[in-house]
Structure 1
Amino acid sequence: MIGRILGNRYEIIEKIGGGGMSYVYKARCKVLNRFVAIKILRDELTSDPDFVNKFKQESLSAASLAHPNIVNIYDTGIEDDIYYIVMEYVKGETLKKYINRKGRLSEQEAIKISRQVAEALKHAHSNNIVHRDIKPHNILITEEGIAKVTDFGIARAATSSTINNTSNVIGSVHYFSPEQARGGYVDDKSDIYSLGIVMYEMVTGIVPFDADNHISVAMKQIQEKPVLPTKKAKNLNISKSYEDIIMKCLEKHQSFRYQNIDDLIKSLDSLNGFNAGNSTEDDEIIDSPTMVIPIINDDVDDDGVINIDLIDGNSNNAFKSFFGGDTEEEIKNKQKKENKPMNDAERNKNLKITVAAVLSALVIAVVGGIIAFKAIMYVPEVEVPDLRNRSEEEGKQIIEGLGLVFQVAKREYSSEYEEGKIMEQSVDEGMMLKENYPVEVVVSRGQKEIIVPNLVGSYAIEAGIILADAGLSEGTVEEENSDTVPAGQIIRQDPIQGTPANENDRVDYVVSLGPKITLVVMPGVTDLPLDAAKAYIIQYGLTVGEVTTEPSDTVEEGFVIHQSVTAGHEVALGTSIWLTVSSGKPDTEEPGTEEPGTEEPGDGNGDGEDTGASGTYPLTITLPKNKDEVYIVVQKVAEGGREIVYSNDVDTSEQSIIINLEGKGTQVFEIYIDNELYDKVEIKFE
């Protein structure tokens, strides 16, 4: 791909990453002369319509989003069976690498990144898109320290039927939610759980759940409560408030987590002091109202007398009203009659008197305006009564009769209040409210009719959730062995399914321990005749499994060479024991004694291999593309039992693996991926 130009504008420069479905390249846009990142679907997947649809889905989902904390999608296209998405090129590193490099992040830095990711999810959720795979690998940190969420490859529009009912659980096992592990309902609260895991890892440097294989991690996600971050990591210095936020995100049941991303953002903001107090309607207005103030003109006339005139009034009247005596004009006339101009002292005295009069007039006007304003704006207050245990209609009449607004906030089941009665009110009894202030109430729906759900056949780890959803609680839990019910499943319950119950009633149940296992010591049967070995095995309560033969130079024909369980080891009663029996010494023929035409393929000297001997078969297994790692088990199946010939955790980045199987003749093998049957093959060994 290096050097190739896609869409007649994007020149591929270098490969910068890859995932289960695609490769990511750095490219240069020739039209806008800027660097971009291009995600290209792997070649081997373009013939698979399911993967092509997922790839198209990623581009459609992500292209509808535009947010500073989300990697922008610029373009999409198909060229010569190459499916590609053009997106923003982010200079930086993944949050996973950032955490690994720093070990752990400070609380302030973790809060900053958490909030940016939360803002990205808020934008996605508002567009009905659930990411479904939030993890540090899908969060990029720019050189400026800005977090950007990427890879909406498994995101899809959230609808009322958003249920993952496929056999493959989508997501990354260390970060996905319990409902994803169970293949259940996935919504925006699933993203909140995954973000909680990311926050946990940022401050501790480790994930809350880990194990040797993915199945064990998934089970921990479902049933184990995470250890507090401050107890998980040594010398961890984070606030109790931030730790509480993380633990609330990691609640197993969706209803116990933050109900939406806005609530989480508010909690994060409160840690940084972003909350601002809101003034109430009762706050007193202390600012003066806007008023029209007369403009004052001042000048000195020809006689040296200062004139202060009010445009909208007469200063002479002000003098006379407030101080009595001669007005300014009368003083001037007297001075003219006496032909005596005012000296400086008289001028200053008259100026002071004039200014004092004007200011006094203004003060009285302002005070009068405030009094008039308050008289006009005054709204009488009423005392709120106790509405609890009153009917909804009665409460409405009382509230509206007081000039307030009656609103029903919600209706809830209650064992204390009868149906239609008011349970709660938003404003406490005795508070004073102004007219038209809303009073919200919660109205009882009466006692909820509860029917005991069916627990039989469910696994014990699910019982608590099933009962909580029904409004019930767990009672006494007992265990007992069962030959018919698998270990971990519920055998019976009390009360039984369908029984009417009250809220928080307890339900007892019994959990299967599986068949009772009796251990016996494996006897040694090698070097015994086959019949004697079989009788010996049966005598110990074991069963005889597959019997194979092979040549031996040291063991007489018909005698046991090898047993599948070593002598002296403890083994469960009824275990199938496989045996290998000697077929005698291998055939050896003198050179040159073969009949013509019977030579085996080889180098022409008669030393070819016997095609009836044991052979090797290269079994190729195609790996799932929606998981980073899977646990693979291969079992050889025969009438006498099964034998595990391969088991290991496998990285899916290689797309497929080859396992060299050994056997003779025709044999059947079963392939399990993450403990689910993936394929069953019949192999003929040559």
Structure 2
Amino acid sequence: MARKIGSRYTANQILGRGSAGTVWLGEGPEGPVAVKLLREDLASDQELVGRFVQERTALLGLEHPHIVTVRDLVVDGNDLALVMDLVRGTDLRTRLERERRLAPAAAVAIVADVADALAAAHAAGVVHRDVKPENVLLDMQGPLGPGGAHPALLTDFGVAKLIDSPKRNRATKIIGTPDYLAPEIVEGLPPRAAVDIYALATVLYELLAGFTPFGGGHPGAVLRRHVTETVVPLPGIPDELWQLIVQCLAKAPASRLRASELAARLREQLPTLTGMPPLDVDEPDPSEEAAEEPAPSVPQGEPVRRRGAVSLVPGAKPDSNRDTHTSMRVPAPDELAGGAHGTARAPRATGAPRPGSARHKAAVRRRRVTLGVAGVVLAAVVGVGAWFASSDGDDHPAPATHSTSTP
């Protein structure tokens, strides 16, 4: 059912839903548009509406070939909406769910496009704060690039900042998507441009591996891993590409590359990635993660949600397809220090158990039992051998020795 958005736009058809609102296919004075209509309970928040208007100039000023342009911001009664260019295609999450992981050339080409978009935004003083596959759109009408990748455009600039309340969030809350949050956000520091680089490197890792480097399990465990854990090399990719990922996943923000540097360095890697198939690595077993992390407290009979499945808005129902945001308190220093330091969710060859996992521990126990049995068998063999040696001496007495004594 069509509905009017302000005086200039008509929303005709729902394209998708998210924890922040609904995206509609709309019509405006200049043709088709995408209208992101924020939740009505958000529109009734006068503080949020004020910040929405304050961000208008910054959001409308972001223009780049790899940014979904915001054409207008509408505040009308209970309607709070961003009117954006319509991209004929799909989002990166949908492609990732369909293919599980991408060929390295395609993954790098897509991430390089997004890095270009971030470079333009950072130059304008805008930090995205919520870089993830859901916010990367693939233009199916654009020319194919390396690895068959369609042009990538970054969307939803400013949405996380708009919904984030400084009064409610200062040093007490975290708003974002757990799998992609930089360590400094977890520790309560203000988000700078480097948080987008960290999130984008996490996206690249996910495109290559099929899973994020620190995700899985309860959101609190995910946040702790960002601060305390490190990643190991993904098998099968060039060392130069891996070093880029490592640098951009550095715990210290100053150690990460700038967006423009990352885009240039990634494109330098493309010739070496041509024709390389998707990596063959196992995704961590959820049952292993459940065994290693303390289970969250949930009402009896309710399923335990994984991968950061906590609503952005308190009391909100889950998204139609996934929950991607979380709002939770900043962990105390002793909580962050409580996790084991080491390698998080280490990729491994297909079929091999992850060190420290329940399956790995079971394999170790089996090896110990096997070695124990082997030790018993060996001891028995040695004992039998000794018995035969002794028995052989009784059946065949040694020649008698003669001694002489002096009378």
The separation in 1 between residues aligned to 2:43 and 2:122, in whole angstroms, is 30
Partner of 1:202: 207
The structure-2 alpha-carbon separation of the partners of 1:52 and 1:633, relative to structure 1 and needing over 3 Å to count, comes to farther
Partner of 1:52: 49
User: Which 4+ runs in 1 deviate beyond 3 A?
Assistant: 53-61, 631-634, 644-651, 673-677
The separation in 1 between residues aligned to 2:316 and 2:207, in whole angstroms, is 34
After superposition, the C-alpha distances for 1:317-346 in whole angstroms (9 at most, x for unaligned) are xxxxxxxxxxxxxxxxxxxxxxxxxxxxxx
Residue from 103, 108, 111 that aligns with 1:111: 108
Residue identity matched to 1:134: V
Structure 1 residues 105-504: aligned runs within 5 Å: 105-143=102-140, 144=142, 145-152=150-157, 153-155=159-161, 165-230=170-235, 237-258=236-257, 260-272=258-270
The separation in 2 between residues aligned to 1:178 and 1:107, in whole angstroms, is 26
Partner of 2:362: none
Partner of 1:656: helix, strand, or coil? coil
Partner of 2:205: helix, strand, or coil? helix
Q: CA deviation at 1:38?
A: 0.7
After superposition, the C-alpha distances for 1:479-515 in whole angstroms (9 at most, x for unaligned) are xxxxxxxxxxxxxxxxxxxxxxxxxxxxxxxxxxxxx
The separation in 2 between residues aligned to 1:89 and 1:224, in whole angstroms, is 39
The separation in 1 between residues aligned to 2:218 and 2:130, in whole angstroms, is 19
Partner of 1:41: 38
Partner of 1:26: 25
Structure with the higher fraction of residues in strand conformation? 1
After superposition, the C-alpha distances for 1:561-613 in whole angstroms (9 at most, x for unaligned) are xxxxxxxxxxxxxxxxxxxxxxxxxxxxxxxxxxxxxxxxxxxxxxxxxxxxx
The structure-2 alpha-carbon separation of the partners of 1:51 and 1:155, relative to structure 1 and needing over 3 Å to count, comes to closer
Partner of 2:92: 95
- Normalised TM-score (structure 2): 0.63
The separation in 2 between residues aligned to 1:97 and 1:654, in whole angstroms, is 23
The separation in 1 between residues aligned to 2:190 and 2:6, in whole angstroms, is 39
Q: CA deviation at 1:647?
A: 10
Partner of 2:180: helix, strand, or coil? coil
Q: CA deviation at 1:239?
A: 1.9
The structure-2 alpha-carbon separation of the partners of 1:648 and 1:58, relative to structure 1 and needing over 3 Å to count, comes to farther
Residue identity matched to 1:112: A
Q: Contact (CA 8 Å) 1:10, 1:27: kept in 2 or not?
A: yes
Aligned length: 282
Q: Contact (CA 8 Å) 1:632, 1:647: kept in 2 or not?
A: no
Partner of 1:77: helix, strand, or coil? strand
Q: Contact (CA 8 Å) 1:171, 1:180: kept in 2 or not?
A: no
The separation in 2 between residues aligned to 1:225 and 1:676, in whole angstroms, is 20
Partner of 1:460: none
Residue from 315, 320, 326 that aligns with 1:656: 315
After superposition, the C-alpha distances for 1:540-562 in whole angstroms (9 at most, x for unaligned) are xxxxxxxxxxxxxxxxxxxxxxx
Q: Contact (CA 8 Å) 1:59, 1:85: kept in 2 or not?
A: no
Q: CA deviation at 1:54?
A: 4.9
Q: CA deviation at 1:191?
A: 0.9
Partner of 1:148: helix, strand, or coil? strand
Q: Contact (CA 8 Å) 1:63, 1:73: kept in 2 or not?
A: yes
Q: CA deviation at 1:632?
A: 6.7
Answer yes or no: is 1:61 the counterpart of 2:58. Answer: yes
Q: Contact (CA 8 Å) 2:3, 2:11: kept in 1 or not?
A: yes
The structure-2 alpha-carbon separation of the partners of 1:257 and 1:657, relative to structure 1 and needing over 3 Å to count, comes to closer
After superposition, the C-alpha distances for 1:119-152 in whole angstroms (9 at most, x for unaligned) are 0000001001111111111111110311010112
- Normalised TM-score (structure 1): 0.38
Q: Contact (CA 8 Å) 1:15, 1:25: kept in 2 or not?
A: yes
Which structure is higher in RCO with an 8 Å CA cutoff and minimum separation 6?
A: 2
The separation in 2 between residues aligned to 1:251 and 1:656, in whole angstroms, is 34
After superposition, the C-alpha distances for 1:182-232 in whole angstroms (9 at most, x for unaligned) are 1114211111111100110111111111232100000001110013222xx
Q: Contact (CA 8 Å) 2:205, 2:212: kept in 1 or not?
A: yes
The gaps in structure 2 that reach 5 residues or longer are 143-149, 163-168, 273-295, 318-326, 332-407
Partner of 2:351: none
The separation in 1 between residues aligned to 2:22 and 2:303, in whole angstroms, is 29
Residue from 81, 84, 87 that aligns with 1:84: 81
After superposition, the C-alpha distances for 1:102-128 in whole angstroms (9 at most, x for unaligned) are 121112111211110010000001001
The separation in 2 between residues aligned to 1:71 and 1:657, in whole angstroms, is 27
Q: CA deviation at 1:88?
A: 0.5
Q: Contact (CA 8 Å) 1:632, 1:674: kept in 2 or not?
A: no
Partner of 2:15: 16
Partner of 1:159: none
The gaps in structure 1 that reach 5 residues or longer are 157-163, 231-236, 275-630, 635-643, 659-672, 678-686
- Superposition RMSD in Å: 3.0
The separation in 2 between residues aligned to 1:44 and 1:101, in whole angstroms, is 33
The structure-2 alpha-carbon separation of the partners of 1:51 and 1:104, relative to structure 1 and needing over 3 Å to count, comes to same
The separation in 2 between residues aligned to 1:154 and 1:267, in whole angstroms, is 28
Q: CA deviation at 1:177?
A: 0.5
The separation in 2 between residues aligned to 1:194 and 1:79, in whole angstroms, is 34
The structure-2 alpha-carbon separation of the partners of 1:41 and 1:57, relative to structure 1 and needing over 3 Å to count, comes to farther
Q: CA deviation at 1:57?
A: 5.3
Residue identity matched to 2:185: Q
Structure with the higher fraction of residues in helix conformation? 2
Q: CA deviation at 1:245?
A: 1.0
